[in-house]
Amino acid sequence: MMRVAVFISGRGTNLQALINVCAEEDTPAEIGLVVSNRPDAQGLRRAAAAGVPTVAIDHTTYDSRASFDAALDAAVRRARCSTICLAGFMRVLTGDFMRAWRDRILNIHPSLLPSFPGLNCHARVIEAGVTISGCTVHFARPELDSGPIVLQAAVPVLPDDDAGTLAARILEAEHRIYPMALKLVAQGRVRVVSERVRIHDAAMAGDVLVNPAGV
């Protein structure tokens, strides 16, 4: 049984999706700890309601990123977790932390990486006139929003979208693919080979998403 630590900063909707998938019989994973850098994060209450241990590690009480990351590392190891899922965790982890947990940190980002990394990606997508966006689950690397891609979901950008409406639709897709990715990793079906992910016995999508769909 793979023990997972989930890092959050806010509402924890992706956390809830991960909690739900870990309750399924064919997911050999359990969430051993939920960590938030914000003591008032709503996601901590979600975790507590599900009976998941929580800890708040307030980044503002540490004098450096290295000391904050050391506290995160210690908490994860005390909880005997072997994998970390970043689920709306709004802190940049140090390179040393990322290297110590290489190929054991999953992240979800609300764009089709490597396009539109970083913040405010939905507004940037609309400004660029992109017609298809989406979300990406990947193994995290020290460079922001980079690393081997596990799963992606494509979401059309509609003519009347603003950043909020697009974000809401993409969030629904996040709730689908993050649990899928965690289950695949827990089942031992995912390998990283030369910085590319290989998934054993995966069914590949056969349809083409075209947007606009035609005339």
Longest dimension (CA), the chain: 58
- Give the dihedral sign, CA 142/146/150/152: positive
| Active site positions, annotated | 109
Alpha helix (H) residue ranges in 89-162? 95-100, 121-128
Structure tokens at 65: 């990123």
Structure tokens at 55: 């800890």
Tally the residues of the chain: 215
The CA-atom distances, in angstroms, between 95 and each of 100, 160, 193 are 9, 40, 21
Cβ atoms of 209 and 156 within 8 Å: the answer is yes
The CA-atom distances, in angstroms, between 94 and each of 67, 108, 138, 144 are 10, 18, 17, 10
The CA-atom distances, in angstroms, between 8 and each of 36, 123, 137, 152 are 5, 23, 15, 21
Report how far residue 84's alpha carbon sits from residue 167's, in angstroms, rounded to the nearest whole number.
Answer: 24
